[in-house]
Amino acid sequence: MEKNIARRDILKMGVAATVCAAAGTLARPLSAEAAEKKSLLRAGIITDMHKTSKADSSTRIYSASMDKMKVFMEAMKREKPAFLIELGDFVDTLAQGTDPAANLREIEALFTSFSGPVYHVLGNHDFDNLKREAFLSGVTNTGIEKGRTYYSFDAGDVHCIVLDADYTPKDFRPYDMNTPEDTFWTWVDTIIPPQEMEWLKNDLKNTGKPVLVFSHQTLDRVDEQDHNIKNASAVRRLLEESGKVLAVISGHDHQGGYSNIKGIHYVVLNGNVGVNDTRTWDATSLEKGRGLHNDNQFCVLDIRKKGKTYTLSFEGYGRQPSYKLERTL
């Protein structure tokens, strides 16, 4: 079910959507038609920062994570969204001898410098060098009880649900830091456990607002696919049966993608740790402030309503595609 959809493919699906690449600035201002609709929400979304002290590789430029987060934060000061959310893999495995708590503190301090609410989704790499308790105590989810890994909140006229799929399919054991004595999960071990499924069903039932769902791992592919939550089909059924979900927004698969399944939009954002495969990263350009936008992926989501139709405009920065999607509830 994985799709990186071109304009002609979206039109074939009958979805009112356009995709375009942005280069360092928002793809385009909202159309006059969109401006006439009632604005419900504006949110800033980023994923897969992978802040770490590890050496860069040919495909992952870890050393740029803080610079990329600074670009994101500067853009959000201009865009003034209602909230910011990062979709997991905030940090990564550290080089030996470095402090994992300090690594998290550095990027969290920058992220929480935003003047409004901020939220986190748990990713698999967040537990590489940190105990679960240490990571959870080191991050802030505005208005959410410390230690909660799946939760929901209302942002204006939209209900937002954050899922945690960092559990092992065999025994629903929550991810924690692997040790030489106890290595019990790998990145493909991912599932929404029964207690969270029950919570999700009730949370959907109890809201009268349109819903956005945020997850780290993807939900739009066959259950067995490596990046996908292993009971994704069961989760999708709950979302479909509710009749309230506008979109599911995920990270994890750094190349990104888009799918539409039974009317629900599934948007997978491009990861920030990677580089553009068509060019070589130029550290000199980074130092001079150039080149960063081309490999700095994030978006601003604007949701507007006219009648029963919701328009979701994902305005992409860098290599993150922009999408204009419609959903009628």
Residue 21 lies in a domain: no
Phi, psi of 85, deg, nearest 5 = -140, 135
CA distances from 143 to 5, 118, 123, 209 (A): 36, 9, 21, 19
CATH, residue 262: 3.60.21.10
* pLDDT of amino acid 278: 39
Total domains in the chain come to 1
How many residues would you count in the chain?
329
Query: And the tokens for 150?
Result: 């799946």
Mean pLDDT of 14-33: 44
| Structural domain for 69, as ranges | 39-303
What sign for the dihedral angle of Cα 199, 200, 205, 211?
Answer: positive
The residue-averaged pLDDT of 132-155 equals 97
Q: Do 71 and 292 form a contact (C-beta atoms < 8 A)?
A: yes
pLDDT in tens, 201-234: 999 999 999 999 999 999 999 999 999 999 999 9
pLDDT tens per residue across span 256-298: 999 999 999 999 999 999 765 434 444 444 443 444 445 789 9
Quote the pLDDT of residue 91.
98
Q: Is the pLDDT of residue 306 over 80?
A: yes
Other CB atoms within 10 Å distance of the CB of residue 78: 9
Residue 33 belongs to a domain: no
Does the residue 66 lie in any domain? yes
294 in a domain, yes or no?
A: yes
Q: Is residue 256 part of a domain?
A: yes
Residue identified by tokens 């069961």 is 234
Classify residue 3: in a domain, yes or no.
no
- Residue 104 in any domain: the answer is yes
Which segments of the chain are extended strands (E)? 19-21, 38-46, 83-86, 118-120, 151-155, 158-162, 211-214, 245-250, 257-261, 264-268, 298-306, 309-317, 321-328
Does the pLDDT at position 84 exceed 70? yes
In angstroms, the first-to-last Cα distance of the chain is 23
Q: What is the pLDDT of residue 261?
A: 98
30 in any annotated domain:
no
Q: What local confidence, expressed as pLDDT, does residue 5 receive?
A: 39
Evaluate whether 164 touches 150 at the Cβ level (below 8 Å).
yes
Average model confidence (pLDDT) for the chain? Answer: 87
Give the residue among 160, 164, 66 at the shortest CA–CA distance from 118: 160
Angle CA 238–271–107, to nearest 5: 100
Question: So what's the pLDDT on residue 279?
Answer: 41
The rounded radius of gyration (Å) of the Cα atoms in the chain is 19
